Amino acid sequence: MSDLRVEICGIQFKNPIMPAAGPPTWNGDAMVACAEGGAGGIVAKTISTTAAVVPEPCMAQVGKASMLNTELWSELSPEEFIEREYAKAKETGLPLIISLGYTADQIAELAPKVRPFADALELSTHYIGEDPAPMIAAVSAAKDAVDVPVIVKLSPLGREMKAAAQAAQEAGADAIAAINSFGPCLGIDLETGLPLMGSEEGYGWLSGQAIKALALRCVFDIARTVDLPIFGVGGVSRGTDVIEMFMAGASAVQLCTAAILRGPSVFGKIAREMDEWLDGHSYSSINDVKGLTIRKLEERAFRTTHLPPALYEELCTGCGLCETSCVYQAITVVEDKARLDESLCQGCGLCATRCPTLALVMP
């Protein structure tokens, strides 16, 4: 069993996997369910000074493991959370991160009221635009109002992540969460021709597996820019996704879509998968893989020469995935074994990423 514990801004988490602000933490009972499902901490649904009025429908599955949403912030009033819901979440004994939105005035009003329940605040920047000024003002308002760590959650609105993270650090943020859902995007109901989302323009925000590569890039950029802990968010649904987030520089992960589509037991499942991967690769702690990709990239020699993959015939099952997608026709499966013609291989690497048994490995 590996050591899955992490410490961020002085807060101890028993594992680094927790619900992101969203439907899995929409009220106290839902937050308790996340704790029972094995989460290492809780990020409550974003509240603002008034309850949101949400266009319906506001959630749809797109593809196998992604979603569109147009949910805004909590439809419960801040009073309901403060009087009832946060206290239930606190009973779990897990660290509670309270998500607030959006402007400096709203944060100044809400932060002191939620402080009795908060181990940290997370500020959503989803609706305050590209200009860093409102985000900087919101961070200052939070820092002036309370003494708990302040996490800034960045949205990938085309926003340059490095500059946004730098501005957040200079404003006094203690940590960054990245990313919020991506958009605007459009999904269509084939039968009616209507947009899937009930928002005025029909737009929605993309989350889940479809944004994992974008989230990894953002975490990677932020980790190379600022000296702040990062909560990696976006497309985490398996133990290996957590490992990748840590390799990119995250110190913990949050997930929303996988918890909606698969239920709150997903947290414990992902923790177990992560543990198995670490054990299988002889790592004693999740912290050992942190930032690995940043270090590896620095060591890697840039090349444009075509190098073929190594082919381990004994591992090949003859499934043919490599042959199907080798547009250069360098691979053919003969008698249930892949054969590689190195003179035709362009060294693109695709086959190695598709091979399910690691029979093809890029140099």
Ligand X SMILES: Cc1cc2nc3c(=O)[nH]c(=O)nc-3n(C[C@H](O)[C@H](O)[C@H](O)COP(=O)(O)O)c2cc1C
State both tokens at 40. Answer: 């290492």
CA distance 22 to 2: 29
The residue among 78, 77, 123 whose CA lies nearest residue 100 is 123
Three-state DSSP at 215 gives helix
**Cβ at position 327, least distance to ligand X in Å:** 31
Which residues, 6+ apart, have CB-to-CB distance to 231 below 8 Å? 8, 151, 153, 175, 176, 177, 178, 250, 251, 252, 253, 254
**For ligand X, which residue of 35, 44, 71, 216 counts as binding (CB under 6 A)?**
71
308 binds ligand X (CB under 6 A): no
Position among 15, 27, 92, 207 found at the interface with ligand X (CB under 6 A): 207
Secondary structure (3-state) at 100: strand
Q: How far is the CB of 310 from ligand X (least distance, A)?
A: 34
CB of 40 to ligand X, least distance (A): 15
Q: How far apart are CA 308 and CA 340, in angstroms?
A: 9
- Does the protein bind ligand X through residue 211 (CB under 6 A)? yes
Q: Other C-beta atoms within 10 Å of 231: how many?
A: 25
Closer to ligand X by Cβ: residue 45 or 143: 45
User: What is the total residue count of the chain?
Assistant: 363
230 binds ligand X (CB under 6 A): no
Nearest approach, Cβ of 254 to ligand X (angstroms)?
6
Q: Pick one of 15, 124, 169, 293: the residue that binds ligand X (CB under 6 A).
A: 124
Rounded Cα gap, residues 268 and 33, in angstroms = 12
Based on the shown chain and the rule CB under 6 A, indicate whether residue 183 belongs to the binding site for ligand X: no
* Of residues 205 and 277, the one with the C-beta less far from ligand X: 205
Is residue 246 within 8 A of residue 252, CB to CB? The reply is: no
At 334, which helix (H) or strand (E)?
strand 331-334
Q: Does 199 bind ligand X (CB under 6 A)?
A: no
Distance of closest approach, residue 258 Cβ to ligand X, in angstroms: 6
Pull the structure tokens for residue 267.
Answer: 């947290």
Give 27 or 207: the residue with its C-beta nearer to ligand X.
207
Q: Which range of residues in 130-138, 206-214, 244-252, 323-331 is near ligand X by CB under 6 A?
A: 206-214
Q: How far is the CB of 236 from ligand X (least distance, A)?
A: 5
Residue 328 Cβ vs ligand X, minimum distance, rounded to whole Å: 34
Q: Is there binding between residue 37 and ligand X (CB under 6 A)?
A: no
257 binds ligand X (CB under 6 A): yes
Q: Which range of residues in 3-11, 66-74, 166-174, 239-247 is near ligand X by CB under 6 A? A: 66-74
**One-character DSSP codes across 282-327:** T-SBGGGGTTHHHHHHHHPPP--S--PPEE-GGG-----HHHHH-T
Using the contact rule CB under 6 A, the part of the chain among 167-175, 253-261, 264-272, 330-338 near ligand X is 253-261
- Residue 54 to residue 12: CA distance in whole angstroms: 35
For ligand X (CB under 6 A), the number of binding residues is: 27
Find the shortest distance in angstroms from Cβ 324 to ligand X: 29
Q: Which residues contact 324 (CB under 8 A, 6 or more apart)?
A: none
Secondary element (H or E) of residue 338:
strand 337-340
CB 291, min distance to ligand X, A:
21
Binding mask 87-106 for ligand X (x = CB under 6 A): ------------x-------
Binding site residues, ligand X, CB under 6 A: 20-23, 45-46, 59, 67, 69, 71, 73, 99, 124, 153, 180-181, 207-208, 211, 233-236, 255-258
